[in-house]
């Protein structure tokens, strides 16, 4: 499929090369023509110099036939304007914008525009590597609001139901790894020795959830 990328910085150029390697047709837009040097001589896609939310520039980049659009310039306003133009004016079905301000990211997510809140996500990852909290985060949503963490269980949880663990922690089990295979549990699933348990949390409850899971359950 044809994909248009606005912004040829490190992220934009990396995404462009990745998509091209996957066999997609790629066009990259940037106001600075010298930015295209990041693409290197092996890039065979289209490069367009101009403002990424300008109608004529977008048309030149093939937005009318594009099935996806990524706005990854260094400016929040430019990214969100370009994303909205791509989606609302040209009807591009898959649109994503990189946003530095997490509060703005939350607003645009509610408007139906997927975003990646770069600074918040990076900061959260750095803190978790510097100050481990007894659980491993394996996924975080683009607004950095919800995460999935691996929660090691106290041995006394073995033989208890997933429902009991969820009631004790106040959250949901996202999935289990059992014998090396991912499993979607039901409330009646019984926890077994060797299970790896991954739970849905927010930052506010992550520590408490991990603590409850690591503590022997109260007697039934």
Q: What confidence tens digit (pLDDT) does each residue in 9-51 have?
A: 988 999 999 999 999 999 999 999 999 999 999 999 999 999 9
From residue 109, give the alpha-carbon distance in Å to each of 15, 103, 128, 175, 202. Answer: 21, 10, 24, 25, 17
What is the pLDDT, as a whole number, of residue 55? Answer: 94
Q: Does residue 7 sit in the same domain as residue 108?
A: yes
Examine the domain organization and report whether 116 and 38 are in the same domain: yes
Clarify whether residues 10 and 106 are in a common domain.
Answer: yes
pLDDT value at residue 39? 95
Q: Please check whether residues 33 and 104 belong to one and the same domain.
A: yes
**7-11: long-range pairs with CB below 8 Å, 24+:** 7/52, 7/70, 7/71, 7/72, 7/73, 7/74, 7/79, 7/98, 8/32, 8/35, 8/36, 8/38, 8/39, 8/47, 9/35, 9/38, 9/72, 9/73, 9/74, 10/38, 11/72, 11/98
Residue 135: the pLDDT is: 64
Percent of the chain residues past pLDDT 90, beyond the cut:
63
Q: For 155, what's the count of Cα atoms within 13 Å in the CB-facing half-sphere?
A: 0
180/74 same-domain check: no
Which of 78, 99, 121 is the last residue in one of the domains? 121
**How many domains, the chain?**
2
pLDDT value at residue 198: 93
- How many CA atoms does the CB half-sphere of 124 hold within 13 Å? 20
- Tell whether 158 is covered by a domain: yes
Q: Is the pLDDT score of 126 beyond 90?
A: no
Task: Identify whether residues 117 and 139 lie together within a single domain.
Answer: no
- pLDDT given for residue 128 in this prediction: 58
Residue 166 confidence (pLDDT): 96
- Same structural domain for residues 156 and 58? no
CATH code assigned at 81: 3.40.50.720
36 and 112: one domain? yes
Q: Which of 70, 86, 121 is at the close of a domain? A: 121
- Distances in Å between the Cα of 144 and the Cα atoms of 89, 182, 190 are 29, 24, 31
| pLDDT at 131 > cutoff 60 | no
Output the CA angle 32-53-61, nearest 5 degrees: 70
**Contact by Cβ (8 Å): 197, 148:** no
Same-domain pairing of 117 and 145 = no
pLDDT-derived band at 137 (thresholds 50, 70, 90) equals confident
pLDDT for 192 equals: 93
Residue 36 is assigned to a structural domain of this protein: yes
- The pairing of strands 147-150 and 136-140 is antiparallel
Pick from 121, 140, 159: which residue ends a domain? 121
Tell me which of 109-118, 119-128, 149-158 is least confident: 119-128
CATH, residue 157: 3.30.70.1450
Q: What is the pLDDT of residue 134?
A: 55
Confirm whether 168 is domain-assigned: yes
Instruction: Please name the residue that has the structure tokens 């790896």.
Output: 196
Confidence check: pLDDT of 173 > 90: yes
Longest dimension (CA), the chain: 68
Query: Which structural domain, as residue segments, surrounds residue 16?
Result: 2-121
Whether residues 65 and 166 fall in one domain: no
Helix, strand and coil percent figures for the chain, each rounded to 5: 40, 25, 35
pTM: 0.62
Regarding whether 116 and 29 lie in a shared domain, the answer is: yes
pLDDT tens digit sequence for 76-100: 889 999 999 999 999 999 998 888 8
Does residue 29 contact residue 6 with C-beta atoms inside 8 Å?
A: yes
Mean pLDDT of the chain: 88
């Amino acid at each position: 499929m044809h994909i248009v990328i606005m912004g040829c910085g490190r992220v934009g150029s990396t995404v462009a090369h990745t998509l091209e390697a996957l066999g997609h047709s790629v066009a990259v837009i940037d106001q600075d023509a010298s930015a295209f040097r990041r693409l290197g001589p092996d890039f065979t896609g289209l490069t367009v110099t101009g403002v990424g939310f300008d109608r004529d520039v977008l048309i030149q980049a093939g937005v009318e036939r594009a099935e996806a659009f990524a706005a990854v310039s260094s400016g929040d306003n430019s990214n969100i304007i370009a994303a909205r133009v791509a989606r609302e004016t040209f009807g591009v079905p898959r649109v994503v914008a990189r946003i530095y301000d997490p509060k703005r990211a939350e607003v645009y997510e509610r408007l139906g525009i997927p975003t990646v809140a770069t600074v918040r996500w990076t900061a959260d990852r750095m803190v978790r590597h510097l100050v481990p909290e007894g659980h491993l985060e394996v996924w975080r949503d683009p607004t950095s609001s919800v995460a999935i963490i691996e929660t090691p269980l106290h041995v006394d949880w073995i033989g208890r139901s997933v429902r009991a663990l969820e009631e004790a922690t106040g959250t949901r089990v996202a999935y289990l790894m059992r014998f090396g295979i991912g499993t979607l549990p039901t409330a009646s699933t019984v926890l077994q020795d060797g299970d790896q348990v991954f739970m849905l949390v927010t930052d506010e409850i992550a520590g408490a959830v991990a603590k409850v899971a690591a503590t022997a359950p109260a007697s039934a």
